[in-house]
Amino acid sequence: MFEMVGRPKVGRTFAGERRVRLGDCSPGGRLRLDAVARYLQDLSDDDTRDAGFTQMTWVVRKTVIDVLQFPTYLEPLDLVTWCSGLGSRWAERRVDIQSADGGALSSATLWVHLDPATLRPAMLTDQFDEVFAASAAGRSVSTRLSFGESPDDVELITWPTRFADFDVMEHMNNAAAFVIVEEVLASRRDLRAPLRVVVEYRTSIDRGVRLRYAGVDLADAHDGWLVDERGGCPVAYRISRLAA
């Protein structure tokens, strides 16, 4: 069972501010989740750079976002982040987003530390632990994933990739997966806040890979998968209602 831990009493935290801009909004004026994913990675990068770690390379393994209330157009947002768990080659980062008008989201992202030359998971350094371990309070986290492959009997629909989906690592950016989540929310009007979205990144997606999408509607949830041309499943996700 996943645990969304609270803000630490000791250790490093890092704060930032955003304002919900036009390009971050749905047609109805609420903050979109792909924009939230960009906020999370930007604040995370700001924190590590502010702490002096400018040469570290990370990829996202899993992101959990709990939406209690969606912020809306032009709302000013207060963001705070901290390290909430550690492994030998990865770390979990929490980010809370709140506004004075009631917008409230909590997130946890599992980041895997890579060797920049080999792009293989690399050990975290003692210097990293000195800065970030205190807020984790000894909490250990795993890279184990929860979702399996897509079922054999679901319809696969072509999902076109866009040039704008890819970042400087030549891989699809993690925020692009939340575009699919937004497509589901547009059709499932019953899936509204409070809700939880879990996205797992099983493998990277390179430019030129042909993708197909499969989704299954459940009573209070939706499960989905991105499937590549070899039949692999690089991304899996779940949208579900949270108890109010």
Domain boundaries, the chain: 14-136, 157-241
In our burial notation (b when 16+ CB lie closer than 10 A, e otherwise), range 71-86 reads: bbeebebebbbbbbbb
What is residue 243's predicted lDDT score, i.e. its pLDDT? 80
Backbone angles phi, psi at 129, to 5 degrees: -60, -40
| Fold (CATH) for 14-136 | Thiol Ester Dehydrase; Chain A (3.10.129)
| Fold (CATH) for 157-241 | Thiol Ester Dehydrase; Chain A (3.10.129)
Going 129 to 131 to 136 to 141, the CA torsion angle's sign is negative
What is residue 112's predicted lDDT score, i.e. its pLDDT? 98
What is residue 244's predicted lDDT score, i.e. its pLDDT? 65
Backbone angles phi, psi at 23, to 5 degrees: -75, -5
Q: Which pTM value belongs to this model?
A: 0.97
Do 14-136 and 157-241 share a fold?
yes
| 3 state SS of 227 | strand
CB 145 within 8 A of CB 110: no
Please list the ranges in the chain whose pLDDT falls under 70.
244
Q: How would DSSP label each residue in 47-86?
A: HHHHTT--S-EEEEEEEEEEEEE--BTT-EEEEEEEEEEE
Furthest-apart CA pair in the chain: how many Å? 49
